[in-house]
Amino acid sequence: MLASGEALAALRLSLVCSLSATAVCIALGLPLAWLQARVDFPGRALVRGIVLVPVVLPPVVGGVALLMALGRRGLVGAWLDSAFGVRLPFTSAGAAIAEAFVALPFFVLTVEGGLRAADRRLEEAARTLGAGPWTVFRRVTLPLLRPALVAGAALAWARALGEFGATITFAGNFPGRTQTLPLLVYVSLESRPEAGILLSVVLLAVSLGVLVALRRRFFEAL
């Protein structure tokens, strides 16, 4: 049953989308975490709120927000369409973006905690040894941040893998294109409940596995 074409396609899509979403989280989240932890700029509270809002927002509402921003008639989406011919809603890329939107706060919070806990005197020591800001970041800050980066990325990945509401709202439910595992579970529960339950168990096992593997690193990073 798990080996059915539908399930395999959903699994493959889930992996691709969740890993892409994790990459987006790292690319956006590291600078954001840095800003939050190290730079005192006006509007920091607002940026922090925007980054964290997906944690408390119902994911479906997040999906609506994404449609309004990135949809074909959305604020940015209309421009993307007219300037580059890029349409994100109801595509695999859209699914990945929906997952990244919901997963980003998990990465940012974990990495920000790691940055705050880091001993900044080590960075000062590196500067007195002749390292400029970029070298300090690359050779001291990042290596010391590794546990937090690993924990944050794994949490974000697990959250992205299980994402449902924002994905179905922004990307729809097209098998092979945007139907990820959680969406397949939802659909299966109506037609083939046993398959839905089995897939749910698989997802639960993966999530639990990540959290158990991370337990120490996660709490150390925080």
Rounded least distance, CB 116 to other proteins, Å: 17
Q: According to the binding rule CB under 8 A, does residue 166 interact with other proteins? A: no
Q: Which is nearer to other proteins, 159 or 217 (CB)?
A: 217
| Nearest distance in Å: CB 145, other proteins | 10
Stretch that binds other proteins, among 21-29, 135-143, 178-186, 214-222 (CB under 8 A): 135-143
Q: Does 139 bind other proteins (CB under 8 A)?
A: yes
Distance, in Å, from the CA atom of 167 to the CA atom of 183, rounded to the nearest integer, reads 8
User: What is the amino acid identity at position 61?
Assistant: V
- C-alpha distances in angstroms, 104 versus 3, 54, 97, 111? 31, 8, 10, 11
The verdict on 135 binding other proteins (CB under 8 A) reads: yes
CB of 99 to other proteins, least distance (A): 32
Is residue 140 at the binding interface for other proteins, with CB under 8 A as the rule? Answer: yes
CB of 133 to other proteins, least distance (A): 8
> Could you tell me the CA-to-CA distances from 50 to 65, 163, 172 in Å, in that order?
12, 19, 24
Cβ proximity to other proteins, 140 vs 184, nearer residue: 140
Q: What is the CA radius of gyration of the chain?
A: 19
Residue whose CB is less far from other proteins, 68 or 125 = 125
Residues 203, 182 contacting (CB under 8 angstroms): yes
| C-alpha span between 91 and 88 (Å, rounded) | 6
* Touching other proteins, residues 95-124 (CB under 8 A): 119, 121-122, 124
| Interacting residue with other proteins among 31, 58, 132, 176 (CB under 8 A) | 132
> What HEC string does 57-90 produce?
CCHHHHHHHHHHHHCCCCCCHHHHHHHHCCCCCC
Question: Tokens representing 196?
Answer: 């839905």
Q: Dihedrals φ, ψ of 60, to 5°? A: -60, -40
Q: Which of 40, 45, 56, 128 binds other proteins (CB under 8 A)?
A: 128
Q: What are phi and psi of 33, to 5 degrees?
A: -60, -40
155 DSSP assignment: H
Cβ distance to other proteins smaller for residue 73 or 121: 121
Closer residue to other proteins in complex, CB, 140/210: 140
Judged by CB under 8 A, does residue 211 bind other proteins?
no
- Of 82 and 135, the one with the shorter C-beta distance to other proteins is 135
Least distance in angstroms from the C-beta of 41 to other proteins? 20
